[in-house]
């Protein structure tokens, strides 16, 4: 009990990290600023408060990547999953919880743990007494601590996300789209062509689409030049997008070389595996239903499957792929680890998974042991790899867990996709999750005791 660890933030990630490290015999000091100081979204003093929906999304571990992540969390004795399962509500295949019972259970377990000391205080400076620190202060990290973090990371700490939709490579119809960079400077982009009628219909749909309102405290969200929401650009004039992200210049459609496209949507590779592509310049505040409906009208995307849809929110997060090592430590100051949504994952489940790994990694390190990393074929491994190096740092935005982060079943090339090889969707998911479950169990056997 002479090994000490500071954990800042008693949300989902911080509570999970504290539980894991404390169970490994580490003396954890956990700092939570509520109720002394609130955030714009939390309303209680409970640890692990869910700030919005009461759903942990799909609990189906066979055909859903979020459900798979639930299973891996349960395998690792997750406190958050224990509390969620204890307060489960009827919600079909989703895992929805009674939020008060859930948060109270987490608080009870943390405060009763003999190895955890809870301090209700805002941390304004990163502790520097020689003990390692995990920062898990989430999307609404207090301004004073944000400033202290910025001393280490400079402008690589963002306060708003601006997310363009990301889709699965194998759901793009390459009989309509083609590979080409503008002015033939390589073949790095997939291009979706539109004629004049399709372009005008698309603009009308953007203007008419349902938009999400900002919350009152988000209304000062800045629209940065260069990343305006597409519907805002469309509202500035019908031609604005044709002179911005949808400009057709420097491109020749290889399927119809003599016909000049009127507008082009470009897709750019988003992960090292080449399984995910983002829609370049398509950050948006359209409601998710409208996004799916409107973006599927883009030629070549009629069957698109989206790994995540676009959004714009208040969100404090790091450019993790450039800042963190594979064990979630700041490369420039390895005694500082990050966990939860501040690492650039998105969502309750993902934040918990990163919290769990941060707590375990810190405990192993304090015990002088080096664990192996979870394989990228598992939900834990895929998420961890994405934020600690595999995600593209130049376009990095928060990410949910999805199958596109995992190595595909067969090596895909730019031209031959699993779809074309006839691997059925449902089979593919089942094969991916079976592979993940086996690899996760194998990985657990490699962990030091
Ligand atoms: C408005 C809003 C709605 C959301 N809706 C959803 C949703 O419906 N579904 C979903 O999956 N995800 C949602 N999210 C994302 C969600 O917040 C995260 O997925 C999850 O809560 C992240 O867990 P975390 O532990 O990283 O952060 P949090 O759960 O936010 O925990 C961080 C904790 O750190 C504390 N803290 C902050 N600064 C300090 C400091 N300086 N000192 C001490 N303590 C500090 C905070 O009080 C908080 O308790 C939403 C986020 C926001 C902002």
Mean pLDDT, range 271-280, rounded to an integer: 92
Q: What's the mean pLDDT in 370-387?
A: 97
Residue 212 has pLDDT above 90, yes or no: no
Model confidence at 163: pLDDT above 80:
yes
What is residue 11's three-state secondary structure?
coil
Residue 221 backbone dihedrals phi, psi, to 5 degrees: -55, 120
Q: Give kind and range of the element (H or E) at residue 253.
A: none
Residue nearest (by alpha carbon) to ligand 1 atom 19: 347
**What domains are there in the chain, each with its CATH number?**
4-159+313-409+428-446 (3.50.50.60), 166-309 (2.40.30)
CB 17 within 8 A of CB 339: yes
Question: What atom in ligand 1 is closest to the CA of residue 354?
Answer: 26
What's the pLDDT score for residue 312? Answer: 86
Residue nearest atom 30 in ligand 1 by C-alpha distance: 138
Average pLDDT rounded to a whole number, residues 117-141? 98
Atom of ligand 1 lying closest to residue 346 CA: 19
- Chain-centre distance for alpha carbon 396: 10
Q: Report the pLDDT value the prediction gives residue 37, as an integer from 0 to 100.
A: 96
Predicted local confidence at residue 223, as pLDDT? 64
Going by alpha carbons, the residue nearest to atom 3 of ligand 1 is 52
Q: Which atom of ligand 1 is nearest to the CA of 314?
A: 53
N residues, the chain: 449
| Ligand 1 pocket test target in 95, 123, 137 with most atoms within 8 Å of CB | 137
Rounded distance from Cα 133 to ligand 1 centre (Å)? 18
- Say if residue 419's pLDDT is above 80: no
Q: Name the residue of 13, 32, 51 whose CB sits within 8 Å of the most ligand 1 atoms, as the mutation to test its pocket.
A: 51
Residues in contact with ligand 1 by the CB-under-6-Å rule are 8-14, 31-34, 39, 41-42, 51-53, 122-123, 136-142, 145, 340-342, 347-348, 351
**Atom 11 of ligand 1 has which residue's CA nearest to it?**
347
Nearest atom in ligand 1 to the alpha carbon of residue 14 is 25
User: 138: CA distance to ligand 1 center in Å?
Assistant: 4
Q: Tell me what pLDDT residue 205 has.
A: 97
SS3 305: coil
φ, ψ of residue 28 in degrees (nearest 5): -100, 130
Task: Reply yes or no on whether the pLDDT at 20 is more than 80.
Answer: yes
CA distances from 252 to 22, 157, 173 (A): 60, 39, 17
DSSP state letters, 102-162: HHHHHHHHHHH-TTEEEE-S---S---SSS-EEE---TT--HHHHHHHHHHHGGGEEEEEE
- Burial per residue of 114-150, b for 16 or more beta-carbon CB atoms within 10 angstroms, e otherwise: ebbebeeebbeebbeeebbbbbbbbbbbbeebeebbe
Tokens matching residue 195? 């004629």
- Contact in structure between 187 and 179 (CB atoms under 8 Å): yes
Atom of ligand 1 nearest to the CA of 138: 27
Q: Classify residue 41 by burial, with Cβ atoms within 10 Å: 0-12, 13-18, 19+.
A: middle
Q: Which of 66, 58, 135 shows the shortest CA–CA distance to 318?
A: 135
Q: Is the pLDDT of residue 84 over 90?
A: yes
Could you tell me if 203 and 234 are in contact, meaning their C-beta atoms sit under 8 angstroms apart? yes
Range scoring the smallest mean pLDDT among 17-26, 302-311, 340-349, 405-414: 405-414
How far away, in angstroms, is 139 Cα from ligand 1 center?
Answer: 5
Separation CA 127–CA 71 (nearest Å): 34
Q: What is the pLDDT of residue 409?
A: 86
Average pLDDT, integer, range 232-258: 95
Measured between alpha carbons, how far is 52 from 99 in angstroms, rounded to an integer?
10
Helix (H, G, I), strand (E, B) or coil at 286: strand
Q: How far is the CA of 18 from the centre of ligand 1 (A)?
A: 16
> In this structure, which residue's CA is closest to atom 10 in ligand 1?
347
Say whether the peptide bond before residue 35 is cis (omega within 30 degrees of 0). yes
**Ligand 1 center from residue 267 Cα (angstroms):** 31
CA 179 to ligand 1 centroid distance, Å: 40
Alpha carbon of 401 to ligand 1 centroid (Å) = 17
Asked if 148 and 333 touch (Cβ cutoff 8 Å), the reply is no
Query: Which ligand 1 atom sits nearest the alpha carbon of residue 34?
Result: 47
Q: What is the pLDDT of residues 301-347, one digit of tens each?
A: 999 999 999 988 889 999 999 999 999 999 999 999 999 999 999 99
Please give the distance, rounded to the nearest whole angstrom, from the Cα atom of residue 441 to the centre of ligand 1.
30
Q: How far is the CA of 48 from the centre of ligand 1 (A)?
A: 8
Q: Which helix (H) or strand (E) holds 337?
A: strand 333-338
pTM of the model: 0.89
Structure tokens at 270: 């988003």
Q: Is the pLDDT of residue 418 over 70?
A: no
Task: Give Cα separations from 36 to 33, 45, 103, 216, 401 (angstroms).
Answer: 6, 9, 18, 22, 33
d(CA 21, CA 299): 50
Instruction: Name the β-bridge partners of 94.
Output: 58
Q: Whose CA is nearest to atom 27 of ligand 1?
A: 138
Average confidence score pLDDT of the chain: 93
Which is more confident, 184 or 352? Answer: 352
- What pLDDT is attached to residue 412? 41
Mean pLDDT to the nearest integer, 59-77:
98
Among 19-28, 138-147, 356-365, 401-410, which stretch is predicted with the lowest mean pLDDT? 401-410
How large is the average pLDDT for residues 24-49? 96
Distance 140 CA to ligand 1 centre (A): 6
CA 283 to centroid of ligand 1, rounded, Å: 22
Query: Cα of 129 to ligand 1 centre, how many Å?
Result: 26
Nearest CA to ligand 1 atom 35: 9
Count Cα neighbours of 326 within 13 Å in the Cβ-side half-sphere: 11
**Residue 298, token pair as written in the block:** 């883009």
Q: Would you state the pLDDT for residue 395?
A: 87
Contacts of 439-446 spanning 24+ positions with Cβ under 8 A: 439/375, 439/377, 439/378, 439/381, 440/72, 440/75, 440/374, 440/375, 440/378, 440/380, 441/75, 442/375, 443/372, 443/374, 443/375, 443/378, 443/381, 444/75, 444/76, 446/371, 446/372
Q: Give nearest CA residue, ligand 1 atom 31.
A: 11
What is the Cα–Cα distance from 262 to 273, expressed in whole angstroms?
A: 31
Structure confidence by residue, pLDDT tens digits, 44-59: 999 999 998 999 999 9
272 alpha carbon to ligand 1 midpoint, in Å?
A: 28
């Amino acid at each position: 009990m002479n090994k000490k660890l500071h954990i800042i933030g008693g949300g989902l990630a911080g509570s999970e990290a504290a539980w894991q490290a404390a169970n490994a015999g580490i003396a954890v000091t956990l700092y939570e600023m509520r109720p002394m100081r609130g955030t714009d979204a939390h309303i209680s003093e409970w640890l692990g408060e869910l700030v919005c929906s009461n759903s942990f999304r799909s609990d189906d571990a066979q055909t859903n990547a979020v459900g798979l992540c639930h299973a891996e969390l349960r395998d690792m004795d997750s406190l958050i999953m224990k509390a969620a399962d204890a307060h489960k509500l009827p919600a079909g295949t989703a895992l929805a919880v009674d939020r008060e019972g859930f948060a109270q259970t987490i608080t009870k377990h943390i405060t009763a743990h003999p190895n955890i000391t809870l301090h209700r205080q805002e941390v304004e400076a990163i502790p520097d007494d020689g003990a390692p620190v995990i920062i898990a202060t989430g999307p609404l990290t207090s301004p004073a601590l944000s400033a202290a973090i910025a001393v280490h990371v400079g402008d690589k700490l963002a306060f708003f996300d601006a997310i363009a939709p990301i889709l699965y490579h194998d759901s793009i119809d390459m009989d309509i789209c083609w590979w080409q960079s503008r002015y033939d400077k390589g073949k790095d982009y997939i291009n979706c062509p539109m004629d004049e009628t399709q372009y005008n219909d698309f603009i009308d749909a953007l203007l008419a689409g349902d938009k999400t309102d900002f919350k009152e405290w988000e209304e000062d969200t800045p629209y940065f030049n260069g990343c305006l929401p597409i519907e805002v650009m469309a509202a500035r004039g019908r031609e604005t997008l044709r002179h911005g992200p949808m400009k057709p210049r420097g491109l020749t459609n290889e399927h119809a070389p003599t016909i000049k496209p009127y507008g082009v949507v470009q897709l750019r590779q988003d992960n090292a595996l080449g399984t995910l592509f983002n829609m370049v310049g398509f950050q948006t505040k359209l409601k998710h239903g409208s996004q799916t409906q409107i973006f599927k009208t883009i030629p070549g995307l009629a069957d698109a499957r989206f790994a995540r849809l676009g959004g714009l929110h208040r969100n404090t997060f790091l450019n993790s792929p450039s800042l963190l090592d594979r064990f979630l430590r700041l490369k420039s100051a390895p005694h500082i680890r990050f966990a939860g949504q501040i690492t650039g994952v998105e969502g309750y489940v993902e934040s918990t998974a990163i919290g769990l790994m941060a707590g375990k990694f810190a405990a192993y390190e304090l015990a002088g042991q080096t664990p192996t990393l979870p394989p990228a074929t598992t939900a834990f491994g895929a998420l961890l790899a994405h934020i600690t190096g595999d995600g593209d740092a130049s376009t990095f935005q928060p990410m949910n867990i999805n199958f596109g982060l995992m190595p595909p079943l067969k090596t895909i090339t730019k031209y031959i996709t699993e779809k074309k090889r006839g691997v059925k969707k449902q089979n593919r998911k089942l094969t991916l999750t079976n592979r993940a479950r086996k690899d996760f169990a194998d990985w657990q056997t490699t962990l030091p005791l």
